[in-house]
């Protein structure tokens, strides 16, 4: 019995962008299909801010070719309400690489409010759930990013 599914015409067949030209020692660039959806990826780093005593989020973006995004390209993925206000471009404290940073000045206040709201509705937040709640809070500034929530936390 054949367990393979029939060919899906909507599937883009992957082809290398660069390929050897026939009977030569050099590469040629192939044209890419127009129906490929371009995506950006981000490295997310979380450090501890000693001044505000809360987690601080750092974002480093890359295009589909893994080329680092410019500061203005990163800001395109940040909500208008947060770009250049809550989210700024700064050097990462440990790597020195230029990243987008979500300023931590209100993290503690917002997290305390979310936890209090949960407690008042009879829900208890376990210590291991705190990071998931924090990432949900941060997602307001970065609406274009999809997070893999493996746990559901109702606030």
Per residue in 116-150, pLDDT (tens digit) is 988 898 888 888 788 888 888 787 777 776 665 56
Q: Which pLDDT does position 24 carry in this prediction?
A: 65
Residue keyed to tokens 């026939």: 22
**Residue with the larger pLDDT of the pair 141 and 58:** 58
Q: Which pLDDT does position 68 carry in this prediction?
A: 92
Catalytic residue among 28, 36, 46, 105: 105
Tell me whether residue 99 is one of the annotated catalytic residues.
no
How many helical (H) and strand (E) elements, i.e. helices and strands, does the chain have?
A: 3, 6
pLDDT, average across residues 51-72 = 90
In the DSSP assignment, the letter for residue 77 is: T
Name the strand (E) or helix (H) holding 54.
strand 54-62
Task: Read off the tokens for 1.
Answer: 């019995």
Q: Which pLDDT does position 93 carry in this prediction?
A: 93
Q: Which pLDDT does position 104 carry in this prediction?
A: 87
Residue 62: CB atoms within 10 Å: 15
pLDDT, average across residues 79-87 = 83
- Angle formed at CA 12 by CA 44 and CA 30, multiple of 5 degrees: 90
């Amino acid at each position: 019995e054949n367990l393979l599914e029939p060919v899906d015409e909507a599937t883009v067949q992957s082809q290398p962008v660069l390929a050897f030209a026939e009977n030569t020692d050099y590469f040629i660039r192939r044209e890419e299909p127009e129906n490929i959806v371009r995506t950006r990826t981000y490295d997310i780093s979380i450090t501890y801010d000693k001044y505000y005593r809360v987690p601080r989020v750092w974002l480093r973006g890359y295009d589909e070719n893994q080329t680092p995004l410019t500061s203005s390209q990163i800001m395109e993925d940040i909500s208008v309400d947060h770009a250049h206000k809550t989210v700024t471009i700064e050097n990462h404290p440990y790597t020195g690489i230029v990243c987008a940073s979500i300023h931590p000045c209100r993290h503690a206040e917002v997290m305390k409010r979310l936890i209090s709201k949960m407690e008042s509705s009879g829900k208890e937040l376990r210590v291991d759930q705190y990071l998931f709640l924090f990432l949900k809070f941060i997602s307001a500034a970065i609406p274009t990013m999809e997070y893999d929530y493996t746990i559901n936390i109702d606030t």
